[in-house]
Homo-oligomer: A and B are copies of this chain.
Amino acid sequence: MGKMTTMKVEVRFGDCDPAGIVFFPRYHRWMDAASLHFFMSFGVPPWHELERINGIIGTPMLEHHTRFFKSATYGETLEIRTEVEEWRPKVFVQKHTIHRGDDLICESRETRAFCVRDPGDRARIHAVPIPEDVLAKCR
């Protein structure tokens, strides 16, 4: 396995639903933040800078598989551990696990691609090979 990063999250009142527990799409927001945090930790610039350099607008999600083991609530601190399990020519598989102390809260495997805007229609995007510079920094 390669490099790993960690990111802390404070669970807030507004992250929780009427059952009093974290509303699950919120975990996906946090893991999305952890995904970018992974790249920026190794020197990849944020997407709005990368777009000026090579047109890349981010790493949209193609597929993910997520399991939830325990619930969490506000006032708690979670830790997200992030690594890349697999680098393929046009996609990568990123794995996140979210922990509260010794408890495993959830686990997700995300398949993402680096994408650029379609020159003919800025509202459309398509995948490009993973930039060499990203591989050199993060693999």
Contact = CB atoms under 8 A, between A and B. Distances in A.
A20 B122 contact: yes
Chain A contact surface mostly: mixed
- How many monomers of this protein are in the complex? 4
Most buried by B among A24, A63, A75: A24
Size category of the A interface is 35 or more
Contact of A16 (B18, B26, B64): B18
Interface string A6-50: 000010111011111101111011001100100010000011110
A4 interface: no
Question: Top 5 closest A-B pairs, CB basis?
Answer: A46-B75, A25-B28, A12-B33, A19-B57, A25-B25
